[in-house]
C-alpha cells in the first residue's frame, strides 16, 4: 500500500468535518441562552442572521441575533459570549497569532496548513496579530498585584536594538546613519531572572526564571514597565542587581526605578572600551596594542579604575589627550559599577549576555529579516505577542481575556 500519508490526511479531514458539525449543532441548538441577548433602548432586532465562524475544525455558519443601535452600530451577543475575534474562536485565533509571531506571515500560513489542515490566507495572520497584539499589550501592562516570588537575588538587565520601519514612518527622525537620519526604530528590551547562589560555584541563572519587557516607547515609559514587571513577580528580593552597557538611559532607569540596586556595567562592553582606548596609543591588532590592552584589561578585571586612569594618562600622546579623557570618562563615571573583583567574589553575574540574546530572539529573528519594513503599530502589536510567548505568559493572556471585561 505504500505511504499511508494520504490516509492520515483523509481521516483528519473527516474528523474535522465531524467535529465542526457537532460544534455548529451545539451552538445552533434551539433554546440556547446567550448573555446580553435582549434589546437595549432604541435598538432594532433581527433574528437568525447567518454569519460565518472560523474554528479549529474549519468554517461554518451560525444563526445569530443581531441588534442595531440608532447610531447604526451593530452587535452580535453570541459573538461576545463566544469571545470571537473577527469571527475566529479564541483557540484558533491564539494558534494563528502564535504562528504569526514566530515566522513571516506567508511561512506561518503555510506551516499552519501543514500542521492543522486549515487553509488560512497570510493576510488573516497579519490582521489577527494586529487585533490580538493590542489586547496582549494591555494584558502585559495591566496591574496584576504584587508577586509572591522571594528569590535571594533578582536581576534586571536592559539593552536596546533597532527594528526597520517603513520609510515614511522614519521621515524626519534623527539617527546614527552617516547623513544623520534614522534607519531603524529603537526597541528597548529588559530581561528579569533570578539566582540562587551557591558558594564556590559559578553563577547560574535559575531555570525558566526569565521574563521579558520590550517596547518601542521612550525611556521613561520603559522604566515604568520594567518596574511593573518586577513588582508583578517579586514580593521581596534581598538583592537586586541591574546590568547594562553603561548607557545613560539605563543609568537613568536604574536610578529612578531601582535606586537601592547593585549596578553592574557589562564586563564585555567595558573591555571593548579598553580595547578602543588602547587604539589611541597603538594601531589595533598590532603586538604593542595587544600588550597594552592586556595590561589595562587586567586593571579593569581587578576593579582598579584609578590605576587604569593613571596608566592611560601617563602614556597618552599630546595630540590624543582630549580623546583619552573622553574615553576615560566612561570608566570614571561608572567606577562603582565596575568593581568586578568584588562582584566575582559575591558570585554576581557581570555580563549582560541574557538581554543581548533577548534582543536577537525577541526583535532580530522576527523583525529584521531581509526586506522587512514595519509600521510602528504592526511592530508594537506583534512584539507584545512575542514577549508574552517568550515570557511563558501567552496562555495566561487568554485566560485573562476570558475572565475580564474584554470578553462577555
Domain interval for residue 216:
153-266+351-374
Residue 315 three-state SS: helix
Are residues 47 and 69 located together in one domain of the fold? yes
Cell numbers linked to 371 = 526586506
| Same-domain status, 258 and 277 | no
Instruction: Check whether residue 298 and residue 316 sit in a common domain.
Output: yes
Number of domains observed in the structure of the chain: 3
Pick the last residue of a domain from 336, 364, 393.
336
**In DSSP terms, which residues pair with 263 in a beta bridge?**
242
Closest by CA to 231, choosing from 144, 139, 152, 158, is 144
* 205 shares its domain with 255: yes
In a domain, 31, yes or no: yes
pLDDT at 383: 97
| Alpha carbon 66 to chain centroid, angstroms | 39
In a domain, 246, yes or no: yes
Check whether residue 361 and residue 235 sit in a common domain.
yes
The pTM (predicted TM-score) of the whole model is: 0.91
- Regarding whether 159 and 193 lie in a shared domain, the answer is yes
Direct distance between the N- and C-terminal alpha carbons of the chain, in angstroms, rounded to an integer: 51
The verdict on 94 and 129 lying in the same domain is: yes
Q: What is the pLDDT of residues 340-378, one digit of tens each?
A: 999 999 999 999 999 999 999 999 999 998 889 999 999
Q: What's the average model confidence in pLDDT over 26-55?
A: 87
In this prediction, residue 274 has a pLDDT band, given cuts at 50, 70 and 90, of: very high
Mean pLDDT in residue range 134-139: 96
User: Is residue 346 one of the residues assigned to a domain?
Assistant: no
pLDDT in tens, 232-248: 999 876 799 999 999 99
| Minimum mean pLDDT range among 30-39, 163-172, 310-319 | 30-39
* Whether residue 45 sits in one domain with residue 29: yes
pLDDT at 147 over 70: yes
Q: What is the pLDDT of residue 385?
A: 98
Residue 22 belongs to some domain of the structure: yes
Query: What pLDDT score was predicted for residue 180?
Result: 67
23/118 same-domain check: yes
Residues 311 and 238 in one domain: no
Q: Residue 31 has what pLDDT?
A: 76
| 211-215 β-sheet, strand order | 211-215, 185-195, 153-163, 239-244, 262-265
Domain assignment of residue 13, yes or no: yes
pLDDT in tens, 149-177: 999 999 999 999 999 999 888 887 777 76
Amino acid at each position: 500500500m505504500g505511504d499511508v500519508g494520504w490516509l492520515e490526511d483523509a481521516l483528519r479531514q473527516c474528523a474535522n468535518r465531524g467535529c465542526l458539525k457537532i460544534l455548529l449543532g451545539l451552538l445552533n441548538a434551539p433554546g440556547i441562552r446567550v448573555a446580553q441577548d435582549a434589546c437595549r433602548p432604541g435598538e432594532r432586532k433581527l433574528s437568525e442572521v447567518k454569519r460565518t465562524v472560523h474554528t479549529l475544525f474549519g468554517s461554518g455558519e451560525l444563526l445569530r441575533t443581531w441588534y442595531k443601535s440608532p447610531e447604526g452600530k451593530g452587535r452580535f451577543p453570541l459573538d461576545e459570549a463566544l469571545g470571537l475575534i473577527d469571527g475566529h474562536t479564541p483557540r484558533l485565533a491564539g494558534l494563528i497569532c502564535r504562528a504569526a509571531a514566530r515566522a513571516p506571515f506567508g511561512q506561518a500560513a503555510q506551516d499552519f496548513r501543514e500542521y492543522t489542515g486549515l487553509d488560512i490566507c497570510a493576510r488573516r495572520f497579519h490582521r489577527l496579530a494586529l487585533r490580538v497584539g493590542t489586547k496582549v499589550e494591555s494584558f502585559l501592562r495591566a496591574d496584576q498585584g504584587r508577586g509572591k516570588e522571594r528569590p535571594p537575588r533578582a536581576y534586571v538587565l536592559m539593552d536596546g536594538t533597532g527594528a526597520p520601519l517603513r520609510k515614511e514612518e522614519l521621515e524626519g527622525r534623527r539617527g546614527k546613519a552617516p547623513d544623520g537620519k534614522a534607519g531603524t526604530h529603537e526597541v528597548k528590551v529588559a530581561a528579569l531572572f533570578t539566582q540562587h547562589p551557591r558558594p564556590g560555584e559559578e553563577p547560574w541563572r535559575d531555570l525558566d526564571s526569565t521574563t521579558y519587557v520590550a517596547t518601542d516607547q521612550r525611556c521613561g515609559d520603559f522604566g515604568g514597565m520594567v518596574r511593573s514587571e518586577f513588582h508583578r513577580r517579586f514580593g521581596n528580593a534581598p538583592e537586586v542587581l541591574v546590568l547594562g552597557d553603561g548607557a545613560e538611559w539605563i543609568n537613568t532607569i536604574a536610578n529612578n526605578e531601582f535606586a537601592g540596586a547593585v549596578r553592574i556595567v557589562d564586563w564585555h562592553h567595558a573591555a571593548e572600551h579598553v580595547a578602543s582606548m588602547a587604539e589611541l596609543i597603538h594601531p589595533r591588532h598590532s603586538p604593542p596594542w595587544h600588550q597594552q590592552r592586556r595590561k589595562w584589561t587586567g586593571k579593569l578585571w581587578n576593579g582598579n579604575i584609578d590605576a587604569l586612569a593613571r596608566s592611560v594618562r601617563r602614556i597618552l600622546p599630546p595630540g590624543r589627550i582630549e580623546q583619552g579623557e573622553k574615553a576615560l570618562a566612561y570608566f570614571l563615571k561608572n567606577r562603582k559599577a565596575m568593581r568586578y573583583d568584588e562582584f566575582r567574589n559575591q558570585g554576581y553575574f557581570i555580563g549582560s549576555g541574557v538581554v543581548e540574546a533577548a534582543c536577537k530572539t525577541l526583535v532580530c529573528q522576527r523583525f529584521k529579516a531581509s526586506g522587512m519594513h514595519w509600521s510602528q503599530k504592526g511592530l508594537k502589536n506583534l512584539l507584545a505577542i512575542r514577549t508574552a510567548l517568550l515570557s511563558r505568559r501567552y496562555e495566561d493572556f487568554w485566560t485573562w481575556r476570558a475572565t475580564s471585561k474584554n470578553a462577555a
